[in-house]
Amino acid sequence: MDKNVEEKVTALAKEGKLPCKKALALADELGVSPSVVGKAANENSIKIVGCQLGCFG
C-alpha cells in the first residue's frame, strides 16, 4: 500500500470515518482509483460514510 495514500486517508478521517465525497476527491487528487483509497481506509480501520452510490453503510 502506498504510504502517501494511507497518510492522506488517515489525515482526512475524523473519528475513524471518511465521507465518500472526500475519498473520491482524494483518489482524483492522487491519481489513483477509488478502490486504492478504500483499501487504505480498510487497512486503517476507517469507515467510508455517506456513500454517494449506497455501497458503504
Give burial (CB, 10 Å; 0-12/13-18/19+) of 27: buried
Percent of the chain at pLDDT above 90? Answer: 81
All cell numbers assigned to 11: 489525515
CA nearest to 3, candidates 28, 34, 40: 40
Euclidean distance between CA atoms 31 and 44, whole angstroms: 20
Euclidean distance between CA atoms 19 and 24, whole angstroms: 9
Digit-coded pLDDT (tens) for 8-28? 999 999 999 999 999 999 999
Give the global pTM: 0.85
